Amino acid sequence: MTNHVKRSPVTDSSRLISHNVQADPTSQRVVEAVKARLCGDGNVPAATLEHQLGLVDRLSGFELGRFLLVNRGLDAYWTHRLVIHETDSLRQGMVSELEYLIFERLPAVLATRERFKIFRRELQARLKPGFVLASVPCGWMGDLLLLDYETYADVRLLGLDLDKNALDGAYQLANERGLARQVQLHHADAWEMDLNANVDILTSNGLNIYEPDNERVVSLYLKFFNALKPGGQLITSFLTPPPTLSNESPWDMNATTPTLLALQQLLFVQIIEVKWSSFRTHSQTREQLERVGFRDVTFVNDRGCMFPTVIAKKPS
């Protein structure tokens, strides 16, 4: 792998904002700490508290649930597992009911899976011979590595991530796809990268949703802008606010059911306290992108309008 990964001076994985690479996902200590926190809320009715504690036990009963309890976010491996999973391929009874619901029915999971398909469709449509494509943060780099390059053998693929485990996964997937010779991986912080206007298309998912500071997000978009060639395009995404948080919420409530939204709220917000809670509106995202110089900003919404894709162009 060392021949394929360039390491920048800044590679401190403790700066990861999505998950903790040092965490033990089987830690009973974390499970007990979550239960203690829930019990400490004296305003929760006994029956509701019992239900919440039962959900903690059910989460601790399968691998993804344990990872979420400990990390409060997803790493590259679990993000890849969730987005490539074919909806309705897991039958009820094959796994626990809660694991089934997370993989097959939760609105946020279905939205990010649909977002992943939109990314791949939009990227495939824009491929041209000789292009340089970058993924930041790349994770397992499925957005690029799962495209069809049969007539684009000279395309170069760049991946950048602060998590070395993500780069290991990307390298493994590149080998499986027969694309290792076209791939170059960088172990670096996205906010400190310098791709020197060498990229035709840059794709990014899963970083801005963990960053609550709007100015930090703008500075990230500026890094993306500077990485692109004149005329280059950015394909990224963002989480929109739910109706309970904003009157500007674009969520289509007909695309899901209240019971699943309630379960998602209970699991992700109250029990796990997930870190991916930085919501932004379409207008706010457009303003942030245009502020750093992007133009021709267009949106491609998922069915529920929870996790839109946004495409922006660097002027020629």
Same-domain check for residues 28 and 52: yes
Tell me what pLDDT residue 41 has.
80
Tell me what pLDDT residue 153 has.
86
Same-domain check for residues 46 and 165: no
Same-domain check for residues 45 and 160: no
Same-domain check for residues 42 and 63: yes
Same-domain check for residues 164 and 292: yes
Tell me what pLDDT residue 9 has.
39
Same-domain check for residues 52 and 132: no
Please state, as a whole number, how many other Cβ atoms lie within 10 Å of the Cβ of residue 13. Answer: 17
Same-domain check for residues 163 and 287: yes
| Ranges under pLDDT 70 in the chain | 1-26
Tell me what pLDDT residue 1 has.
38
Tell me what pLDDT residue 97 has.
97
Same-domain check for residues 209 and 76: no
Tell me what pLDDT residue 44 has.
85
Same-domain check for residues 163 and 181: yes
Same-domain check for residues 152 and 217: yes
Tell me what pLDDT residue 7 has.
38
Beta strands in 153-290 (DSSP E): 156-161, 183-187, 199-204, 228-237
Structural domain containing residue 81: 17-109+250-271
Total domains in the fold of the chain: 2
Tell me what pLDDT residue 161 has.
96
Same-domain check for residues 156 and 189: yes
Tell me what pLDDT residue 15 has.
54
Task: Output the pTM of the full model.
Answer: 0.91
Same-domain check for residues 38 and 60: yes
Place of tokens 């990861």: 16
Residue 126 burial class via C-beta count within 10 angstroms: exposed 0-12, middle 13-18, buried 19 and up: middle
State pLDDT tens for residues 69-127.
Answer: 999 999 999 999 999 999 999 999 999 999 999 999 999 999 999 999 999 999 999 99
Structure tokens belonging to residue 265: 């709220």
Tell me what pLDDT residue 20 has.
54
Give the chain's largest Cα–Cα span.
Answer: 63
Tell me what pLDDT residue 43 has.
82
Tell me what pLDDT residue 266 has.
96
CATH number of the domain enclosing 162: 3.40.50.150
Tell me what pLDDT residue 18 has.
43
Alpha-carbon distance of 34 to 29, in angstroms, equals: 9
Tell me how many degrees the CA angle 191-156-309 measures, rounded to the nearest 5.
Answer: 55
CB 112 within 8 A of CB 82: yes
